[in-house]
Chains A and B, each alone.
Chain A
Amino acid sequence: MILDFWDKISYMVQIIMACLIIMIPARKKDYFILRVVACTVVLLCVSYLLNCIRIDEITGAILVAYWSIFPVICILLVWCCLDVSFLEAVYYTICACAMQHIAYDLYLITQMIFGDIYIISLVIYILTYSFYYFFCAKRLPGEGGFVISRELFFPMATIVLIVYILSTIEAFVISTDNAISIQRVFYRIVDFLCCFYVLWMQIIHNEKMRLQMELSGIDYALRQKKDQYEVTTETIDIINRKCHDLKHQIHVLRNVTDQQEKEAFFSEIEDAIMIYDTALQTGNKALDTVLMEKGLFCKNHNIQWTCMADGTKLNFINFADIYAMFGNALDNAITEVMNLEDPEKRVLSLRILIRNKLLVIEIQNYYDKKLHFEEGLPVTTKKNKWYHGFGMKSIQHTAEKYNGTISVRTEDAIFTLQIIVPLPE
């Protein structure tokens, strides 16, 4: 009786266990335990009922469909218990199913070689599942969430699906007699390796993504240093030139007696000194530096820029992050307006809005080229697509580091980038 009951739910239990293990490090919903218990009870009942259906007569596609009900309802379990999107739930479940399949393959192989001994199968499951926890579950998504790349999700899903279909056909259609043959053992080994490599790929991909992020960061920092050097040199040049002009003008002024001419000289001098009008005191040193630099550039390239920025609340963001975030955002905007055909449209607006405990950094400019978006971020205009894209990604990355996000909007030929960061309590 008990054995019969166990038979009817054992498959479900295996998948649920695998799901539970992968859920351990993930972000859970409220009342997690309660949800898990409730879902498990429901799923076990469903499994029991499903197993009461006589499946001896059904074959082919219906059989495959019948067996796939189990993992599909597990998606709902994951979705119900974790604070994740549906796609992420599917991803978690696929990983769990792949793992269950590995354990199942190992179990079948030993069964074919040593016969059906309960204790051995139990040990195999425990070993595989704990290996799975340390090798896979722990190293996959954590608290910070997991970015599922579409190009990896599709092959992974299809491979697991094919393995699944073939395995069902193999077990229930081809080898119904449980005969032991070398081909079956081989088949199971191949099956096992497929699932194993799928999981392995996920780990490797994850690691690769992390390293790439780091590398891009380093590369970008290097590039920025170089850029900054050039800008600083240019800035010094501008100041030197202006000083030279000033000296010259003052010298001439000494000998001018005509009042009108004098007036003209004065306004010229005033204009020369105006370059210091771009020097702002926002209350944040890093912000002052980056604004001074970009402001000078704008002034010398006839970009009219306005900057309404109170930097006093920015002190919780570290120097380098402020520099990178504002530098990137302004660089993008400057490149964008330099490409505009109508020079009148070369205006750029930077605002820092603060309301209660919320900080919004907003940069607006006109654009006239068609923009393309990838994952919500624009990726064209600059020749080096990757570089530009990374600029945006880097801003997003920094914003997320401070618990915020960015938003990009295009409306009425105006491009708006917002960096939204909650102020710490």
Chain B
Amino acid sequence: MKIAVVDDDPNELNTLKEYFKHLHMEIRDEMDVHCYASGKEFICTYDYSFDLICLDINMPEMNGISTAQYIRSRDEEVIIIFVTNMAQMAIKGYEVRALDFLVKPVNYYSFAMKMRSVINIINNKKSKSFIITTSNGIQKISTNELYFAEINGHYLYYHTSGGTFKQKSTLKELEGKLKGLSFKRCNNCYLVNLKYVESINKDDVKVGGEWLKISRPKKKEFLQSLGNYMGGAKL
């Protein structure tokens, strides 16, 4: 996990660096922390490789909000967390889709609570590629492109952004293969990629442009998994 901390106050930078070290002792996830003294300095070297950016709001020249706006115009995915002494400012974070904010002086427990979610969110985004044999030969499928899988008779249909592929297999087998990734059943026939869930109504879920039935006994669990996926809990 690559992390950027941007703050004009060296003390704050140090505190956060120490906190990340401390957190690393607790959860053992790899944390590669890079520090920057200003928004300008950061965007000059910005190379899309970061998973998380902690931004101070109150900085001279280029403040945190405009830095975030710049980043967002180039990177939709990266997680932004503001670090600020004005809680009210943080509400503006919504405009740049910041995930959360930390109040200065940063309290370690508050930091740890939020970072655990962030790490889970990043881990939940993980994808995996695998090879399937279709009647037309071999096909590589990445979970990043897979909207949902459907079982029909003895065949498993992979509905992906690149079209639908068919393979003789079972949903259970696929489910085992995708364990720990963002997949969940909405009924006995469909295994849905939570990443691509667009909308839900009373009995159906919309994934990759298609409406699929949710069975009532599975609905609660399905919604909870979606919550876990969005909020950052281990899947």
A residues lining the B interface (CB < 8 Å): 27, 30, 83-85, 145, 277-282, 304, 306-310, 344-345, 347, 349, 351, 353, 355-358, 360, 362, 364, 366, 403-405, 407, 409, 411-412, 414, 416, 418, 420, 422-423, 425
Contact = CB atoms under 8 A, between A and B. Distances in A.
Closest 3 pairs (CB-CB, A-B):
A357-B199, A422-B200, A407-B224
B231 A308 contact: no
A287 to B, nearest CB: 12
B110 A308 contact: no
B72 interface: no
B33 interface: no
Given A356-B197, A412-B116, 9 more contacts: A308-B90, A310-B94, A347-B113, A351-B99, A353-B231, A362-B231, A405-B223, A405-B224, A411-B234
Contact of B201 (A309, A364, A425): A425
B97 to A, nearest CB: 9
B116 A414 contact: yes
22 contacts: A277-B88, A281-B91, A282-B91, A306-B100, A308-B93, A308-B94, A308-B99, A309-B91, A344-B109, A357-B199, A358-B200, A358-B230, A360-B230, A364-B117, A366-B109, A403-B201, A404-B223, A407-B227, A409-B228, A414-B113, A414-B116, A422-B199
Contacts, number: 117
Interface string B85-115: 0111011011000111111000111100110
Contacts of B224: 405, 407, 418, 420
A331 B110 CA distance: 19
Given A308-B93, A405-B223, A405-B224, A345 B199 contact: no
Interface residues of B, number: 43
Nearest to A419: B227
A358 B195 CA distance: 12
Contacts of A306: 87, 90, 100-103, 110
Interface of B: 86-88, 90-91, 93-94, 98-103, 107-110, 113-114, 116-117, 197-202, 206, 213, 215-217, 219-220, 223-224, 226-228, 230-231, 233-234
Given A407-B227, A416-B231, A349 B88 contact: no
A335 B193 CA distance: 37
Nearest to B233: A409
Contacts of B223: 404-405, 407, 420, 422
A86 to B, nearest CB: 9
B215 A83 contact: yes
Contacts of B230: 353, 355, 358, 360
A423 B234 CA distance: 24
A356 B198 contact: yes
A280 B113 contact: no
Given A306-B87, A358-B226, A420-B223, A83 B216 contact: yes
A351 B100 contact: yes
A310 B110 CA distance: 20
Contacts of B88: 277, 279-280
A304 B112 CA distance: 14
Nearest to A400: B220
Contact of A277 (B86, B200, B226): B86
Nearest to B106: A304
Contacts of A351: 99-100, 231
A357 B91 contact: no
